[in-house]
């Protein structure tokens, strides 16, 4: 299409309702082709914050020599403008038509380095790179070129960038008020390895003369020296993460715990200790990337993004704080104070504050329209269901584009999934089994259908690319809406089955389930005499109350 406007407007709708520091809480996993079971390059994203996401499709477009692009605030106020390029790519969510995908996690770093005079926030950069680049390396060039020309406005940011051949991590931070450009470094994840990041800078040492695998800004080291973040005379190598986002007990607990949990599950043979994220003195930080114990399937990656530290000392489904039915959710604020002592809840990968998440597949052996697959889910990763959206589709499912936090509606996919997740907290240990059964059935069927759907799409595409787009659009939209409909039915089923604290059996008869003995013992420990049935109350020995 040809633009007849002098200016256009960019807005990444999925971020449109994200406000405040709550949005600065995300988790990314990167899987190279050599580390995946089928050769896919995969990245993931949990976009965490109290907001209602809207999935967006942006069509490809052609632009004239004089066209420019407005950069706006969420309310529509124009913050500035940049020059438009002759052609922009089609984008579904955060994957474009060339199978390029980008995700992020925010780290604060030195808050004095945020530049309010910069034009581009990280979400502007992500969308612009998806519209203007075809490969991960090109996306890095686009993003860093834009901030060099127009300025970087956000705090510290870690980006995951993947195409059909490579996965890169790029970390960036601003120069402070009135500064120019940004300080950044980008590393290619070695083939056969996986990496991850979660709201704390992860890149340490990096090679200065290896442009195939490492790119960086000219002043990334000199600026740190100028600011006093790094002393070359110390004899220590320059580490981006320690210069620009120094480790603290708080950010290690908040961010590195999630890195540890992904690594411990992907490579249990390496027996990564929890010491670093518990701020044990002298503990070694976790490596930037590792080789998994075995090649990872798509379902393995889904599973890694569903985690509350189950099976570890930090298992959030255990303990008095999990309540009688083992809910892993902890209500905000995440930190709290008793008797002037500060405490903190664990911060897991799966959280009720997730707005949306995705797992992307980029597969170079297939045509772009078929090879690029954006598995998308809304709300908590543990109780969501991932739906397949092929990167060539030209329509997205309506239920993922409507709704707001201000009003509940069954028409919104986010509200449907949010309802099921919230209702499950009433009797989590029971309801999660019902939820996972439906989740497993839907995702299992979608994964089983994938080879046949893609074989048919490739055959159709040989004679008619337009018909292939129609076929995959219809398939993606239909499966998404069927999934939402089934999840709505699941929610209604849970209301009936778990009404008034009972659990109905297969014949619909209410059954008393009571409370787990371990939790009842905790109740008795706090009030040992109140619930005694005997008229003559006798003191209950402490030993009787201990598991």
Average confidence (pLDDT) over 166-189: 98
* pLDDT surpassing 90 at residue 543: no
Mind listing the pLDDT tens digit for each residue in 370-406? 999 999 999 999 999 999 999 999 999 999 999 999 9
Per-residue pLDDT averaged across 518-542, rounded? 81
pLDDT of the residue at 10: 40
- Rounded Cα–Cα distance for residues 24 and 154 (Å): 11
pLDDT higher than threshold 80 for residue 541:
no
Q: What is the pLDDT, as a whole number, of residue 540?
A: 57
Q: What is the pLDDT of residues 505-519, one digit of tens each?
A: 999 999 999 999 999
Render pLDDT for 46-95 as a digit per residue (tens, 0 to 9).
Answer: 999 999 999 999 999 999 999 999 999 877 889 999 999 999 999 999 99
- What pLDDT, on the 0 to 100 scale, is given for residue 193? 98
Residues 99-138 have pLDDT tens digits of 999 999 999 899 999 999 999 999 999 999 999 999 999 9
pLDDT at 74: 78
pLDDT at 5 > cutoff 70: no
pLDDT of res. 536:
56
pLDDT digits (tens, 9 = 90+) for 265-302: 999 999 999 999 999 999 999 999 999 999 999 999 99
Has residue 8 got a pLDDT over 70? no
pLDDT at 19 over 70: no
Three-state secondary structure string covering 260-296: HHHHHHHCHHHCCCCCCCCCCCCCCCCCCEECCCCCE
Mean pLDDT of 188-198: 98
d(CA 97, CA 345): 40
Mean pLDDT (whole number) for 206-228? 98
Q: What is the pLDDT of residue 12?
A: 40
For residue 148, give the H/E element and its range.
helix 136-150
Mean pLDDT of the residues in the chain: 94
Q: Is the pLDDT score of 233 beyond 50?
A: yes
Predicted local confidence at residue 75, as pLDDT: 79
Residue 220, token pair as written in the block: 């990334």
Q: Between β-strands 61-62 and 57-58, what pairing exists: parallel, antiparallel or unpaired?
A: unpaired
Distance CA 351, CA 329 (A): 7
pLDDT score, position 18: 37
User: Residue 486's pLDDT is what?
Assistant: 98
Helix (H, G, I), strand (E, B) or coil at 445: helix
Enumerate long-range contacts of 321-327, CB under 8 Å, 24 or more apart. 321/345, 323/428, 323/519, 324/515, 324/516, 324/519, 325/426, 325/427, 325/428, 325/429, 325/430, 325/516, 326/428, 326/429, 326/516, 327/424, 327/425, 327/428
Please tell me the pTM assigned to this model. Answer: 0.94
Q: What is the mean pLDDT of residues 461-488?
A: 98
pLDDT of residue 76: 83
Go through the chain and tell me how many residues it has. Answer: 547
pLDDT at 537: 55
What's residue 83's pLDDT? Answer: 97
Q: What value does the mean pLDDT take over residues 212-227?
A: 98
Alpha-carbon separation of residue 303 from 29, 206, 365, 422 (angstroms):
12, 31, 25, 20
Question: How high is the pLDDT of residue 539?
Answer: 59
- CA distances to 113, 258, 394 from 168, rounded to whole Å, are 24, 19, 27
Number of Cβ atoms within 10 Å of the Cβ of 3: 15
């Amino acid at each position: 299409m040809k633009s007849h406007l002098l200016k256009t407007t960019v807005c990444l709708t999925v971020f449109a309702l994200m406000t405040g520091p709550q949005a600065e809480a995300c988790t990314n996993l990167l899987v190279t082709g050599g580390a995946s079971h089928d050769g896919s390059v995969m990245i993931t994203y949990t976009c965490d914050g109290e907001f209602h996401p809207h999935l967006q499709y942006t069509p490809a477009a052609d632009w004239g020599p004089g066209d420019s692009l407005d950069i706006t605030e969420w309310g529509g106020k124009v913050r500035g403008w940049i020059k438009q390029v002759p052609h922009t790519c089609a984008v579904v969510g955060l994957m474009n038509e060339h199978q390029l995908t980008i995700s992020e996690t925010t780290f604060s770093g030195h808050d004095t380095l945020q530049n309010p005079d910069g034009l581009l926030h990280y979400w502007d950069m992500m969308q612009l790179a998806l519209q203007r680049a075809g490969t991960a390396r090109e996306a890095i060039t686009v993003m860093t070129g834009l901030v060099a020309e127009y300025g970087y406005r956000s705090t510290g940011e870690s980006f995951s960038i993947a195409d059909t051949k490579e996965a890169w991590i790029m970390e960036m931070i601003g120069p402070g008020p009135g500064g120019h450009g940004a300080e950044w470094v980008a590393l290619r994840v070695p083939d056969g390895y996986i990496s991850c990041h979660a709201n704390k800078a992860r890149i340490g040492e990096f090679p200065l003369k290896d442009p195939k695998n490492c790119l960086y800004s000219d002043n990334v080291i000199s600026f740190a020296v100028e600011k006093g973040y790094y002393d070359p005379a110390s004899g220590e190598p320059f580490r981006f993460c320690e210069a620009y986002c120094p480790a603290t007990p708080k950010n290690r607990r908040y961010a590195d715990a999630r890195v540890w949990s992904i690594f411990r599950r992907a490579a249990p043979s390496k027996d990564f200790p929890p010491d670093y994220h518990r701020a044990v003195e002298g503990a070694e930080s976790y490596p930037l990337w590792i080789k998994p114990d075995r090649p990872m399937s798509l379902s393995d990656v889904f599973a890694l993004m569903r985690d509350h530290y189950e099976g570890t000392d930090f298992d959030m489904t255990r303990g008095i704080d999990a309540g009688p039915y083992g809910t892993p959710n902890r209500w905000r604020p995440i930190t709290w104070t008793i008797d002037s002592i500060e405490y903190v809840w664990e911060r897991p990968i799966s959280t009720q504050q997730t707005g949306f998440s995705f797992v992307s597949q980029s597969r170079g052996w297939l045509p772009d329209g078929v090879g690029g697959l954006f598995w998308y889910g809304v709300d908590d990763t543990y109780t969501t269901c991932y739906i397949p959206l092929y990167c060539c589709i030209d329509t997205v499912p309506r239920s993922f584009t409507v709704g707001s936090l201000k009003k509940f509606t069954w028409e919104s996919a986010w509200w449907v999934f949010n309802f099921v997740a919230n209702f499950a907290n009433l009797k989590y240990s029971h309801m999660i089994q019902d939820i996972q059964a439906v989740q497993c059935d839907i995702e299992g069927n979608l994964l089983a259908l994938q080879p046949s759907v893609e074989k048919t799409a490739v055959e159709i595409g040989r004679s008619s690319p337009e018909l292939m787009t129609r076929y995959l659009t219809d398939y993606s939209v239909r499966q998404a809406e069927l999934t939402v409909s089934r999840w709505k039915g699941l929610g209604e089923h849970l209301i009936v089955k778990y009404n008034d604290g009972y659990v109905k059996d297969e014949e619909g008869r209410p059954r008393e389930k009571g409370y787990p003995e371990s939790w009842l013992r905790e109740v008795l420990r706090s009030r040992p005499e109140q619930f005694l049935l005997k008229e003559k109350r006798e003191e209950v020995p402490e030993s009787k109350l201990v598991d």
